[in-house]
Copies of this chain bind each other. A is one copy, B any other.
Amino acid sequence: MADKTDKNGPSCEEEKSALQLLSEQYAAPFEAYLTEFSENPNDAIPPRLTESMLYSLRAGGKRLRPALCLAAAERCGIHPEKALPMAMSIEFMHTASLIHDDLPCMDDDDYRRNSPTNHKVFGECLALLAGDALMIWSLGYSLSRLAHLGIPNDRVVRAVNILSEAAGPVGMCGGQVLDTDRESQEPEKEFVYRIAGAKTAALIRAALVSGAMLGDIPDTTLQCYHNYGTHLGLAFQIVDDILDVTATREELGKTPKKDEAQNKMTFVSAYGLDEAKRLALEESEKAERSLEQLFPEGDLLMDLARSLAFRGN
């Protein structure tokens, strides 16, 4: 907290602080909700399927997406408790995509968050079905709960639809296709933005926009969260690409240098390491500025954008 005027960005203390605050205020209550959910499994679901889904849901991670969803909801007048199902939907979808990404026919990863991947523990068939089940449940989970918490149905429809769009063929799934089934004639420097925009930024943006949408807010406010989410998501992906070449297996929780080994197009392969670092900072600054008109005196989400970019440094 000492160093707020440092022109080169937040100090290490500040960096910890924005992520820690988000974690304490939003990721922690989400984690508690997830724990309660895990301890009361639905008897109508085959136990092995529950086990496989919970294995990946509980494998940890920073809960960044659900935390962003709750934070946006609160800033739009919705108590985080009422947005928990939406945050859960986001986390279901994210987890499902990780399970499928790790499958042998995709990235073929043995480790994720320092644990064996889902198919390594449960086999490919169950891992595929656990991912399918989470994707489908993701959207129904909010549909069946938000109205009971007092969210009007027109907002429920819009918010859940935002998630479906972000995760489906124009969003996350489409981005995965671009990432793995490379046929574009586009210059690499533009193409990596398109991949990251669909593969990563769309779901991070949907976490924010769907949370914000639960409140009664004007479209101009929604647009601010939309822009913030886009740039935050891009910054996040650029940093991920940087860490893939600079971090160790322990720091990363998964196999490093996978992108290079699989000849994937990344911000580092397209721009080089130094320029990628600059771009991460640029996107995080754009994210920060997207919220300036809503929070002229600053906000945790604005601090967060800057600190995320510094993960990679």
Contact = CB atoms under 8 A, between A and B. Distances in A.
Interface residues of A, number: 54
A169 B128 contact: no
B136 A161 contact: no
Contacts of A134: 169
A73 interface: no
Contacts of A137: 164, 168-169
A103 B104 CA distance: 12
Given A103-B128, A140-B139, A177-B126, A49 B169 contact: yes
Contacts of A170: 42, 44-45
Interface in A162-176: 163-165, 167-170, 173-174, 176
A202 B155 CA distance: 28
Contacts of A53: 169
A157 B161 contact: no
A45 B53 CA distance: 28
A249 to B, nearest CB: 24
Main secondary structure of the interface of A (DSSP, over half): helix
B100 A173 contact: no
Nearest to A131: B132
A270 interface: no
A99 to B, nearest CB: 11
A132 B245 CA distance: 29
A243 interface: no
A156 interface: yes
Contact of A128 (B106, B143, B165): B106
A180 B183 CA distance: 35
A247 B50 CA distance: 36
Contacts of A79: none
A261 interface: no
A10 to B, nearest CB: 36
A6 to B, nearest CB: 41
Interface string A170-197: 1001101110110100000000000000
8 contacts: A46-B177, A105-B124, A125-B181, A129-B176, A137-B168, A137-B169, A139-B139, A140-B161
